Amino acid sequence: MSKQPVVTDDKLPQVAVSARMAGEERRLQILRIAVRLFSQRGFRGTTTKEIAQAAGVSEAMVFRHFATKQELYAAILDHKACAGEQFQDPRVMLEEAVRRKDDRAVFETLACKALEHHDRDPEFQRLLLHSALEEHELAQMFWGRTVLQVYEFLGAYIRERQQDGAFRDLSPNVVVRALLGMIIHHSLNNNLWDKQRTLIDISNEQAAREFTDILLNGLLTSGNARTAPKKRKK
């Protein structure tokens, strides 16, 4: 069987290339508008007809790019990940710090990157809250793709450091939840409840550093602790 020649963009008719680019741009436009409407009105309060109207296209055009709503929801997560808008894979981001067993760098870097992500994309944070409150499938999709990765990765690191004798014998999942709890609550305050930051107005770097201090002071064994807690007076 003879090999078919590889056809690249520069060999395609300009009209075909332009049409494909226009189609990709239209798909991205629909995605962005869907995220905005879902984050404002929730999933139950947003129809594909409304998405089409806001995008200036027909509802048939929406279904041409996304055959089902399920496909649209999956595309939202894929788009956020591919565009670098979704939280970066911790295994890649923290690889060097984990190799060095630099506890502070592991927790502080993750905290800072997560806080920066929420600052850049509060709309996606609102979208996830809507999906969780409505028990929408997107919440479980995000949980499986992102949150579980963080638990598994950090949990494995914490267990390794416990075996090294550096960390106290605490449940790794509880430790991870404590860190994520500080991060998420801080972001929710800044993005939803206290946008003027009247209660706490600090940089993401400072917040990440102090959250890490709190975590490490509870984790490190006495021989590894940087600062020993003061004894209470009887």
For the chain, what is the mean pLDDT? 81
User: How many structural domains is the chain composed of?
Assistant: 2
What pLDDT, on a 0 to 100 scale, did the predictor assign at position 166?
Answer: 95
Query: Which region holds residue 73: left if phi is over 0, alpha if psi is between -120 and 50, else beta?
Result: alpha
My answer on whether 180 and 213 are in the same domain is: yes
Residues 62 and 114 in one domain: no
Q: What is the pLDDT of residues 27-60, one digit of tens each?
A: 888 988 988 888 788 777 888 889 899 988 998 9
Decide if pLDDT at 14 tops 70: no
Q: Contact, 121 vs 85, CB < 8 A?
A: yes
Sorting pLDDT into bands at 50, 70 and 90, what band is 223? low
pLDDT band at 87 (very low <50, low <70, confident <90, very high): low
Share of the chain above pLDDT 90, in %: 39
Residue 69's pLDDT is: 76
pLDDT at position 80 over 80: no
Q: Which of 61, 82, 103 is the last residue of a domain?
A: 82
Q: Note whether residue 3 is domain-resident.
A: no
Contacts of 155-161 spanning 24+ positions with Cβ under 8 A: 157/98, 157/106, 158/219, 160/101, 161/101, 161/103
Q: Which residues contact 108 (CB under 8 A, 6 or more apart)?
A: 208, 209, 211, 212
The answer to pTM > 0.85 is no
Residue ending a domain, choose from 31, 47, 82: 82
Percentage of the chain modeled with pLDDT above 70: 81
Do 208 and 96 fall into the same domain? Answer: yes
At 3 the pLDDT is: 44
Top-confidence residue, 168 or 85:
168
Domain boundary among 37, 61, 82: 82
Are 186 and 134 within one domain?
A: yes
> What does the pLDDT read at residue 17?
37
**Does any domain span residue 226?**
no
**pLDDT tens digits for 185-203?**
999 999 889 999 999 999 9
Range of the domain at 16: 9-82
For residue 139, the model assigns a pLDDT of 79
Shared domain for 94 and 195, answered yes or no, is yes
**What local confidence, expressed as pLDDT, does residue 141 receive?**
79
| Gap between the Cα atoms of 64 and 67, Å rounded | 6
pLDDT surpasses 70 at 150: yes
pLDDT of residue 137: 77
**Are residues 35 and 100 both part of a single domain?**
no
Inside any domain, residue 230: no
- CATH code for the domain of 131: 1.10.357
Is it the case that residue 7 has pLDDT exceeding 60? no
